[in-house]
Amino acid sequence: MTGWSCLVTGAGGFLGKRIIHLLVQEEGLQEVRALDKIFTPETKEEFSKLNTKTKVTMIQGDILDAQCLRRTCHGISVVMHVASVIDVHGAIPRQTIMDINLKGTQNLLEACLQDSVPILIYTSSVEVSGPNSYKEIIQDAQEDQHHESMWSAPYPYSKKLAEKAVLKANGSMLRNGGTLYTCALRPTYIFGEGSPFLSSVFNMALKNNGMLPSTAKFSLANPVYVGNVAWAHILASRALRDPNKAPNIQGQFYYISDDSPHQSYDDLNYNLSKEWGFRLDSSLSIPLSLLYWLAFLMEMLSFLLRPVYNYQPLFTRHLLTLSQSVFTVSYKKAQRDLGYEPLFSWEEARQKTAQWIGSLVQQHRGTLKSKTQ
């Protein structure tokens, strides 16, 4: 359990940074290599100020650069593969998403085999499981129920194929004659301070006099706090390095949620921000079935116009299903195998996120003030 090293891909991102903060406190960890395509000046400063004896090495590199991955994996004991492109709006080209999420993962697996890295933990997504239909109600889903996304949309499709590749690689022989052991974590919708998605929602609402967009009032989800997802990665690393626990975890995937109340995405946004005066749009909404047909028509129009014009639908059937379904999962398997218990309560998570939303409000007010001067 001592004298080990860890590589975190996507280390400069929302989740990656939280993993780094927890990881450097781990016993016997000699070095953390933080890999990302770009590190902001703020992230570089944040990592340089970490209070730890562990060596933190920031490596700017591309997950699609096989040679870079080979160099970065050399001498590493554990890889946490967090890097991916998340896109539910169709703003990023399909091939870009498939390349980074799938080909990047395949490159990393090959680097692990060639450089004899014995453990890889893959950050998957609940979207690998669904939901497939807003009409289908799934609550407290468990891993042995084999829920699987049927969408061809690039994000869930690429994550599903990448997770399958990672779990299939479990038990592969390493170049030094050892064995590669893998597992995958499927977090639900991740919230918390620094969330790029929440940032866009609240900045949009601030431009609309604090009115939150109501786009997911029919959903029921169990959101998970970013600190708890990071904690699950730490526990998975401990378990896979423990000879007694590892056999039960190798080649397995785990749903990661916490004790945040099951609620709609609209209610989550409101509950996180109401103390700052944000409010939900209470105007009448279009029936879900009609929205679904509108989405279908927009997708068909996009398909027909593609040879001459890149038309992006306002929303798609996939996005509508994601945002309006009843789909929750249970973390009992992670509790049993990894010893996972949420590190942060709902109230702690809510307060930390609300405090960060307050900083967005202050920034907005400062911007308005400077414009009027």
Q: What is the DSSP string of 257-278?
A: --SSPPB-HHHHHHHHHGGGT-
Dihedral sign, Cα of residue 192, residue 108, residue 186, residue 332? negative
Q: What is the mean pLDDT of residues 141-150?
A: 96
In this prediction, residue 373 carries a pLDDT of 62
Beta bridge partners of 59: 35
Which pLDDT score, from 0 to 100, does residue 281 have? Answer: 86
pLDDT tens column, 322-359: 999 999 999 999 999 999 999 999 999 999 999 999 99
Integer Cα distance of 82 and 352 in angstroms: 23
**Phi, psi for 139 (deg, rounded to 5):** -125, 140
The per-residue pLDDT for 34 is: 98
How deeply is 258 buried, as exposed, middle or buried, from its count of CB atoms within 10 A (0-12, 13-18, 19+)?
buried
- Characterize the bridge pairing of strands 29-36 and 4-9: parallel
Domains and CATH numbers, the chain: 4-194+223-259+329-345 (3.40.50.720)
How much is the average pLDDT of 54-81?
Answer: 96
- Round to whole Å and give the CA distance between 44 and 251: 34
> Would you call 181 a catalytic residue per the annotation?
no
DSSP assigned state of 260: S
pTM of the model: 0.95
Backbone angles phi, psi at 324, to 5 degrees: -125, 10
28-42, 115-129, 205-219, 265-279: segment of lowest average pLDDT: 205-219
Which residues is 34 bridged to in the sheet?
8, 58
Average pLDDT on 147-173 reads 97
Decide if 124 contacts 105 (C-beta within 8 A).
no
Catalytic residue of the set 155, 181, 189, 340: 155
pLDDT digits (tens, 9 = 90+) for 53-64: 999 999 999 999
Instruction: Determine phi and psi for 263, rounding to 5 degrees.
Output: -160, 165
Environment class of 351 (CB within 10 Å of its CB; exposed 0-12, middle 13-18, buried 19+):
middle
| pLDDT for position 2 | 59
Q: What is the enclosing helix (H) or strand (E) of 60? A: strand 55-60
Mean per-residue pLDDT over the chain, rounded: 94
Q: Does residue 187 contact residue 254 with C-beta atoms inside 8 Å?
A: no
Give 35's pLDDT tier (boundaries 50, 70, 90): very high
For the CA atoms of 158, 161, 163, 169, the dihedral, rounded to the nearest 10 degrees, stands at: -140
> CA 110 to CA 59: how far, in whole Å?
19
